[in-house]
Structure 1
Amino acid sequence: MPSDTKARIQAVARELFVQQGVQNTSLRQISDRLGITKPALYYHFASREDLVRSIVQPLVDDIESFVAGRAPGDARELLEDYFELIWRHRAVIVMMVQELSTLSYLDLGQRMFDWRRRLIALLLGPELTQAQHIRATVALGGMSDCAVEYAHLPPEEVKPAAVEAAAAALGL
């Protein structure tokens, strides 16, 4: 089934991209690992860039939905939900952190800053002091770092400490 093959290609590519980096992973390595021909891989993805975009796009879509679909409310609940989102996409975040050039595939650099600003406004409101803004940046960035650094641990060990630390940084 084509969608199964496409999902298998993405899974193997994601694994190799995390292990070796995007630029150090060839489409030949991906097709060899899958036991398919390179033309079969090209049937699903026109290029490595197309494949990378397809792997990163679900993270982008989820963050867009998250920041667009939220209203200001309980800050701790927002932190918990945000942690769940980044935990779910931790392999992609690891891939992007290890090779920052992946940010350019979907023009993510500026978009990530925009998302963070929108999240900070949801957490603390639109009128912030510089200190509040800095604390919120530390809180959100620290949670993302925890999802990457402790990705090998069960989420129930990481989430409570990460959320508590973020809440403390925010003064909640």
Structure 2
Amino acid sequence: MAARSTPDSVAAGGGTKSAIREAAVKLFGDKGFEQTSLREVADAVGITKASLYYHYASKLDLLHAIIDPIVDNLRSVVVDLDRTPRDSAGIRDVLRSYLRGMVHHRAAGALVLRDTVTIINAVADRHPDLVDDDQTLREWLAGPNATDEARLRASAALAMLGVALMSREFAPGADDALVEATLLDAATCVLNPRDCA
């Protein structure tokens, strides 16, 4: 069991909310969302359960705090598409932006793998927007008057980038830079084999 600390001492080390999220990501990934109690999360952070409730009203709120930034990243990428030239450099920039959001949140990968149904239910209210954003990004990557091949390549490229979320499970020793470089090159090659070295 973690040594008890005050919320102020946790906050001094990076913020209580952040510490709670990090502990929850680890515990939810290791044990599963349903099998992890908020008491365990609070103990891992070294705070009381009441302190945890001050920051997150429920376990579902805590799950949203973990998953929402991943969904929000896709939204931010799609919002900027109209201002991005659809050339090799622009496409690579869009892929990189999308990928960086997933790499940044890749600690949640074990949770996504373990509790896919829970995650889907948790984002149900955002699902239509998520599907629309995903479709918008795929269509942009495929290009105007896209062929079936271009649509398949766009879908495959995004699927490759999705590996970033699970990269700690598949390649635990890979640092963020290696994950980003490897997956960005792979996705770029899938989209346009002429861009491969």
Query: Above 0.5 in TM-score?
Result: yes
Closer, same or farther in 2 for the Cα pair 1:69/1:94, shift >3 Å? farther
Residues 139 and 151, structure 2, Cα contact 8 Å, conserved in 1: no
Residues 77 and 94, structure 2, Cα contact 8 Å, conserved in 1: no
Q: Give the paired residue count.
A: 172
Which deviates more from structure 2 when the two are superposed, residues 13-22 or residues 115-124? 115-124
- Is 1:130 matched up with 2:151? no
1:48 Cα deviation after fit: 0.6
Closer, same or farther in 2 for the Cα pair 1:46/1:155, shift >3 Å? closer
Name the amino acid aligned to 1:11: E
Closer, same or farther in 2 for the Cα pair 1:146/1:33, shift >3 Å? closer
Match of 2:122 among 105, 110, 119: 105
1:81-120 aligned at under 5 Å gives the runs 81-100=97-116, 101-107=118-124, 108-120=126-138
Give aligned-pair identity as a percent. Answer: 29
Closer, same or farther in 2 for the Cα pair 1:46/1:158, shift >3 Å? closer
Give me the whole-angstrom Cα distance separating, in 2, the residues matched to 1:31 and 1:20: 15
Closer, same or farther in 2 for the Cα pair 1:35/1:146, shift >3 Å? closer
Which deviates more from structure 2 when the two are superposed, residues 94-103 or residues 2-11? 2-11
Closer, same or farther in 2 for the Cα pair 1:84/1:158, shift >3 Å? same
Match of 1:32 among 34, 43, 60: 43
Bigger Rg, which one = 2
Name the amino acid aligned to 2:189: A
Using the size of structure 1 for normalisation, the TM-score is 0.85
SS in 2 for 1:163: helix
Name the amino acid aligned to 2:48: T
Using the size of structure 2 for normalisation, the TM-score is 0.76
Closer, same or farther in 2 for the Cα pair 1:92/1:111, shift >3 Å? farther
- RMSD between aligned alpha carbons? 2.3
Closer, same or farther in 2 for the Cα pair 1:33/1:44, shift >3 Å? same
Give me the whole-angstrom Cα distance separating, in 2, the residues matched to 1:92 and 1:110: 22
Residues 116 and 137, structure 1, Cα contact 8 Å, conserved in 2: no
Corresponding residue for residue 75 of structure 2: 64
Closer, same or farther in 2 for the Cα pair 1:151/1:83, shift >3 Å? farther
Match of 1:145 among 152, 156, 163: 163
1:133 Cα deviation after fit: 1.3
Match of 1:51 among 53, 62, 69: 62
Which deviates more from structure 2 when the two are superposed, residues 53-62 or residues 137-146? 53-62
- Is 1:15 matched up with 2:36? no
1:35 Cα deviation after fit: 2.5
Name the amino acid aligned to 2:141: L
SS in 2 for 1:24: coil
Which deviates more from structure 2 when the two are superposed, residues 44-53 or residues 29-38? 29-38
Residues 21 and 99, structure 1, Cα contact 8 Å, conserved in 2: yes
Corresponding residue for residue 168 of structure 1: 189
Residues 96 and 103, structure 1, Cα contact 8 Å, conserved in 2: no
